[in-house]
Amino acid sequence: MSNGHVVVPTCSCVCATQVPQFLYEAGYGCSDFPERAGMIGVTQPRRVAAISTATRVADELDTRLESVVGYKVSLATLFML
- CA angle (51 as vertex; 48, 57 as ends), nearest 5: 130
Q: How far is Cα 11 from Cα 39, in angstroms, rounded to an integer?
A: 22
For the segment 29-37, the average pLDDT, to the nearest whole number, is 81
Q: What is the pLDDT of residues 40-59, one digit of tens each?
A: 888 777 888 888 888 888 89
Share of the chain above pLDDT 90, in %: 0
> Which sequence spans correspond to the domains of the chain?
14-78
pTM for this prediction: 0.69
- CA angle (19 as vertex; 49, 10 as ends), nearest 5: 75
